[in-house]
Amino acid sequence: MEIAELVTELVEKYRGEAAPLVEVGDPVLRAVAEPVNGQVEPELLRDLVEILFATMHAAPGVGVAAPQIGIPLRMAVLGDSALVAEEVATARGRRPLPEFTIINPAYTADGGDIGFYEGCLSMPGYQAVVSRPESIVATYQDVDGVQHTERLSGWPARIFQHETDHLHGIIYIDKADTRSVTTNDHLRERWAQPTPAEAARALGFSLP
């Protein structure tokens, strides 16, 4: 089925509502997504963005990429209210990230790596430590086709990288230290500290 047909079918079924999330094991999460280059009409693209945001809010999450709802297009939505303790926010560089859409995104490292626990809506129940550049230069188009270049750091940079990776068929666990893998319950009960340093010592993995 052509991309435009896939999007039309999804929009007709879920217009304005959350769509079901695709979970690991589905090939769409391992495919390299197609660049957005006019194959979807502007209004249909806006409808898709609306569904992506509804899905992100319903999960809830801080980002959803189009492949996570079965659409292999290079686009995602992001947004983070950052409602966490001040100590956690400071340690992780987690600050509010206004909601926005990224189309055909890319990034380059603009700083050294730092490791924190991440999870994924398409792989529920688990989290693992991923080392990523703490600061990046991000490029993307918005839903109107306007090109943007921004420097992002801390948690906003991590979210942008995580969602952009989805568009290359990469899931966070591919980049994680597998010794750090934990259930969400253990993360809440044992490893909820602002940084994963204690988990690293206890579970035997290294941090940058």
Which of 12, 17, 163, 198 is catalytic? The answer is: 163
CB 141 within 8 A of CB 149: no
Which two tokens mark 137? 């230069």
Is 163 assigned a catalytic role? Answer: yes
Phi, psi for 206 (deg, rounded to 5):
-105, 150
Q: Which helix (H) or strand (E) holds 116?
A: strand 113-118
- The string over 42-55, giving b where at least 16 C-beta atoms fall within 10 Å of a residue's C-beta and e elsewhere, is eeebebbbbbbbbb
116 vs 93: CA distance, rounded Å: 11
Which two tokens mark 120? 């994924």
203 vs 39: CA distance, rounded Å: 47
87 vs 93: CA distance, rounded Å: 10
DSSP characters over 76-113? EEEEE---S-HHHHHHHT---EEEEEEEEEEEEE-S-E
Catalytic residue annotation: 163
